[in-house]
Amino acid sequence: ISFDGSDDRVGIFRPGGYQFSDQFTIELWIKPNTYQDYEGAISFGDVGGSDPSIGIAYFATGWRFYLKTTDSIPDWPTMIAASAPSAQWTHLACTYDGSKKKLYRNGVLMEEQNMTGNIEWDVTDLYIGFFYSNSPNRYFDGNIDEIRVWDIVRTGAQIKGNKSVTLQGNEA
């Protein structure tokens, strides 16, 4: 999917099946043209509503794994991050198991952080190419492909071994 960075996004409204409580994996391929703070690749949020629950968005020096739980308040400077060069495809994956969140780049664990609590679902809309914030830079500029949302925690080996495999639709 190609995004122009100014007003494009894909919205899946109220996808109730994607509301996990304390474990998940999200994977996607990104090819950013440019990036600015709060530019989003994917997020669960609400335009004009409260803060997102989950997301991958750019801030400062990398793509941050944003997660809001009942026990935590997101803090941009301390979020785990991974870099992704412009004009090049990069696979990003984030996992949360109820006690730790992890961020992978091209199948390699880049950073992990202790975190507890159930995911705080204020809203349930899924956005691709967008991250809800007060910043005008919330739209993704580039391409996004192969988005995978799992209600389980995929291991590093599963992420690395399957990031380039076409799914059949019967995976668990």
Identify which of 60, 66, 70 has the alpha carbon closest to the alpha carbon of residue 21. Answer: 70
Least confident interval from 41-55, 56-70, 81-95? 41-55
Give CA–CA dist 84/64, Å, rounded.
11
Predicted confidence band of residue 49 (pLDDT cuts 50, 70, 90): low
pLDDT at 22: 86
Look up residue 81 and give its two tokens: 């991050």
Confidence of residue 48 (pLDDT cuts 50, 70, 90): low
Mean pLDDT calculated for residue range 65-70: 93
Residue 150 contacts residue 24 (beta carbons within 8 Å): yes
Place 171 in a pLDDT band, splitting at 50, 70 and 90: confident
pLDDT in tens, 70-87: 999 889 999 999 999 999
| pLDDT over 70 percentage in the chain | 91
Tell me the mean pLDDT in the region 123-138.
81
Q: pLDDT band at 126, cuts 50/70/90? A: confident
Instruction: Output the pTM of the full model.
Output: 0.93
pLDDT score, position 46:
67
Let me know: does 43 contact 55? Beta carbons within 8 Å.
yes
pLDDT band at 168 (very low <50, low <70, confident <90, very high): confident
Q: Residue 32, Cα to own-chain centre: how many angstroms?
A: 14
In this predicted structure, what is the pLDDT of residue 106? 97
Which band of pLDDT confidence, cut at 50, 70 and 90, is reported for residue 98?
Answer: very high
Tell whether the model's pLDDT for residue 122 goes beyond 80: no
